[in-house]
Amino acid sequence: MRNTTALLLMGCPEVPVQMSLVLYLSGTLRDKGVEVFIAGNPAALNLARVADRKRCYLGRMIEIDRAIADIVEGRRDFSMCFAFAHNDAGITYAATVRALLPESKLFMIIFGRNAEELAAVVDFDAEKLVERAVHNPLGLKKKIDEVLAWAV
């Protein structure tokens, strides 16, 4: 397999399904030989650290603004990005990554009570995985598995 790097861009940790999906996706990508970087705000990163204290699933972790700065300054590049979004801020970060990494594969994982409405405002090139999921991650997990079968 070619050298592949993935950025998992966490949104606000308010909605419970995000953390289990981040852990699942990170572990699955790492099993496939992908180098994983997880970006989020300090609260989201701390939740991830506590959930995976032995780092069985998580890759490298970095604050989201630092990740964006590293991309802008040419210190980091990613062949794919999985952006988690349940609000406008998540969409904005994904749009930023799309603009900065136009050649990368971008997957939007859009969830929460208003997932369909939020997905409708995505007006940039991205593969959208959309589910009205708040507490149960299984619908999105199935969609992630389907994407990973052809994307990685």
Give CATH superfamily name and number for 5-151.
Answer: MTH777-like (3.40.50.10160)
Q: How far apart are CA 44 and CA 27, in angstroms?
A: 17
pLDDT at 3: 64
**Domain spans, the chain:** 5-151
φ, ψ of residue 144 to 5 degrees: the values are -60, -45
pLDDT in tens, 2-24: 569 999 999 889 999 999 999 99
Task: Tell me the pLDDT band of 30, cut-offs 50, 70 and 90.
Answer: very high
Of all residues in the chain, the percent with pLDDT exceeding 90 is: 94
Cα separation, 125 vs 106, in Å, equals 8
pTM over 0.85: yes
Q: What is the pLDDT of residue 1?
A: 39
Confidence (pLDDT) at 5: 96
pLDDT in tens, 55-91: 999 989 999 999 999 999 999 999 999 999 999 999 9
CA 44/CA 47 separation, integer angstroms? 5
- Measured CA to CA, the distance from residue 74 to residue 43 in angstroms comes to 26
Residue 59 has a pLDDT of 86
**End-to-end Cα spacing for the chain:** 9
